Structure 1
Amino acid sequence: MKITENNEKKLIITILTKIGLNEENSEIVAEATVDADLKGFTSHGIGRFSQYIKGIENGNINLQGDITIEKETEAIALINGNSAFGQVVAYKAMQLAIKKAKRLGIAAVGTHNSNHFGVTGYYSDLAMKEDIVGIVTANTEPAIAPLGGREALIGTNPIAISIPSEKSYVGLDMATSASARGKLLEAQRKGEQIPENTALDKDGNPTTDPSEALKGSILPFGSHKGYGLAFMIEILTGPLVNAAFGKKVTGTADHSKKCTKGDLFIAIDPAKFVGTEKFKKETEEFLDDVRLSAPNTIVPGDLEVKKISSNKENGIPIDKKLYQNLKTICDNLDIELDDYLNM
């Protein structure tokens, strides 16, 4: 089964407005969700919706909530998300960072009391589309054990960077672990194994069983390098933005618990450095050098561009278990799911 980009967006908006989210915020959530699925990050797209519904039912996602700016200067802001949809909080935080960066050259906005927001790169892309460099980080429920340890104390802590250029999409979006936790959840849902050298079980033994991995810990990418980056992001998106850190972070994977994670959104305006056009031109020159350096060389963002093109042309896959999850949600809301699918 597959669903088109437009039908997925329509389905998400229909579900969210039926459960009480206003149309503007429903569209924000839908855009971010479709972006994840188009790029192939299905673990962070519509596959998350059954968990979002659980969060709403448990009162951990506030449909009527809106952001509160708790502290603000010309260059920074600290936002309380008031438990609103994470996509809505993150969208508004990055838009504020972009506005400030256009005025000052650089800005940073931190958020706490938010929720899972989908793929990190969607928000850095918001800046890139306005010729602004976007950098986004977040922390998550513990998943990585410190080097030499067994107990997970650090999140998968993603980082995304999007760079404006003349004609190319340049974007990096990655977890600091060998795999995002969402991919383990997706593998568990599909009944699939995870790659070797990805995770350990609760006893510290290597495992390819996603269920056992979720009870244990995920390995950092690149050993000490990924661990070090995850560690630093934990601080930048925890203590710095008045959010939880380490074992205190909850609600990013298990939506039956209140979400206590934090996010940091940074925007940099090249116009205030060397000028936008010069920056974009020289970025494109560098991309050309890299692409011409060897056959089949790629730059960050190329794989997403290919995936987006394929999914726009062929439709976004919906596996059987996801179909059943969505059908349960739709049946409870008197929505005919099959009307939105290309069977």
Structure 2
Amino acid sequence: MRRVKTIPYEEMFSQFHRVLTATGFDGDDTDTLARVFADNSRDGVPSHGLNRFPGFIRDVQSGRVDLAARAAPVAALGAMEQWDGHRGPGVLNGMASMGRAIELARQYTVGAVALRNTSHWMRAGAYGMLAADAGCIGICWTNTSRLMPPYGGLDKRLGNNPLVMAIPRPDGDHVLLDMAMTQFSGGRMGIHARTGEPFPVPGGYDRDGQLTTDAGAIERALPIGHWKGSGLALCLDLVAALLSGGQTTTQISRQDNEAGVSQVYLAFDLSRLGEAESIAASVQDTLTELASGEALPGEQVTWPGQRSAGKGRAALRDGVPVEWEFWGEVLAL
């Protein structure tokens, strides 16, 4: 039975910080990791926050993730740079890469960092938020190991290759699209499989090849838009690998575990493209028009990131919902 409780955000951050320090992290790295994991759960993405934290610690302790390694530039190409992650912590590598893309955008209007040989970055949206908080449009994506079949196929050959697009807003409630190429992310599938809660729409195929909303019965994940998601997943994989000089999904999947993935981070400095008030007004006009349309019965029209922002505010006020199975594991570390 799934046991859920709420805890103060500060307590979650503190416990993450304690475990990370005991594991060997220190200084700003500890603060960044604890904040990102806690923020992910705060915003309603525990699959890449609390629930993923014990596994991250195990990966560090086993050496699968190199605690001491950090991403570093290997080629400077004007507005674009290639970096090598040296299989260090994906969150720290991702923050450094998007941070550098923002710096390049301040100089060139657009900045790009293509990162190879890194590890899982947890919630992809965290890097889009970093760009948006800096007043930039942020776009980033990663490849993964094989997690879904191509459209028309039975065998897993494609990664779910999450893609993020973030558009800044003055109040901090940024437009944030964070989507895997599967209809639902692997983390979300795990949550629904444990709870038995059906998906609102089919998330994959069961053993008989029928589309199903039962996460526990899914044998093959469904690409978003069927052939469209399948094609987009392939292109994201190839572009990330070619720009970074890193591995493709095919190459990653020949290893014993998912390691050495390829990623791209893009930032566009809006302050160099127009007046802040005019840009903000254009975004707000579009969002207002979007919300003005009639909603289906029982539904609400929202823009990407609106619900997670609301969950974040509620969690800061009322506490962060946690599954005791995972929270207890953190307390025992």
TM-score, normalised relative to structure 2: 0.89
Which residue number in structure 2 is paired with residue 186 of structure 1?
A: 191
Q: What amino acid is the match of 1:43?
A: S
Which residue number in structure 1 is paired with residue 125 of structure 2?
A: 121
- Deviates most, 158-167 or 81-90: 158-167
* Secondary structure in 1 matching 2:54: helix
Distance 1:197 1:318, change over 3 A: same
Distance in 2 (CA, whole Å) between partners of 1:223 and 1:67 is: 35
Distance 1:7 1:264, change over 3 A: same
- Structure 1 residue runs of 5 or longer lacking an equivalent are 331-343
Q: Does 1:84 align with 2:102?
A: no
Distance in 2 (CA, whole Å) between partners of 1:34 and 1:324 is: 15
* Secondary structure in 1 matching 2:118: coil
Question: How far did 1:201 drift?
Answer: 4.9
Q: Does 1:313 align with 2:317?
A: yes
Which residue number in structure 2 is paired with residue 275 of structure 1?
A: 275
Distance 1:28 1:203, change over 3 A: farther
Aligned Cα root-mean-square deviation (Å): 2.3
Distance in 2 (CA, whole Å) between partners of 1:85 and 1:203 is: 39
- Output one character per residue of 1:36-59: Cα deviation in whole Å (capped at 9) or x when no partner: 112111111111022112212321
Distance in 2 (CA, whole Å) between partners of 1:197 and 1:294 is: 24
- Output one character per residue of 1:122-173: Cα deviation in whole Å (capped at 9) or x when no partner: 1111111111101111111211211110111111111111112243421111
Which residue number in structure 2 is paired with residue 243 of structure 1?
A: 246
Distance in 2 (CA, whole Å) between partners of 1:272 and 1:217 is: 45
> Which structure 1 residue ranges, 4+ long, deviate > 6 Å from structure 2?
none
- Deviates most, 262-271 or 94-103: 262-271
How is 1:1-343 mapped onto 2 (pairs within 5 angstroms)?
A: 1-167=5-171, 168-188=173-193, 190=194, 192=196, 195=199, 197-201=202-206, 204=209, 206=211, 210=215, 213=218, 216-250=219-253, 257=257, 259-294=259-294, 296-328=300-332, 330=333
Question: How far did 1:275 drift?
Answer: 3.5
* Secondary structure in 1 matching 2:263: strand
Distance in 2 (CA, whole Å) between partners of 1:129 and 1:205 is: 43
Distance in 1 (CA, whole Å) between partners of 2:155 and 2:165 is: 29
Whether the 8 Å contact between 1:137 and 1:265 is mirrored in structure 2 is yes
Question: How far did 1:207 drift?
Answer: 5.5
TM-score, normalised relative to structure 1: 0.86
* Secondary structure in 2 matching 1:237: helix
Distance in 2 (CA, whole Å) between partners of 1:258 and 1:222 is: 25
Distance 1:43 1:124, change over 3 A: same
Question: How far did 1:322 drift?
Answer: 1.4
Question: How far did 1:292 drift?
Answer: 2.6
* Secondary structure in 1 matching 2:166: strand
- Output one character per residue of 1:96-145: Cα deviation in whole Å (capped at 9) or x when no partner: 00000011100111112211111111111111111110111111121121
Q: What amino acid is the match of 2:271?
A: A
Aligned residues with identical type, % of pairs: 22
* Secondary structure in 1 matching 2:83: strand
Distance 1:291 1:210, change over 3 A: closer
Whether the 8 Å contact between 1:250 and 1:260 is mirrored in structure 2 is no
- Structure 2 residue runs of 5 or longer lacking an equivalent are none
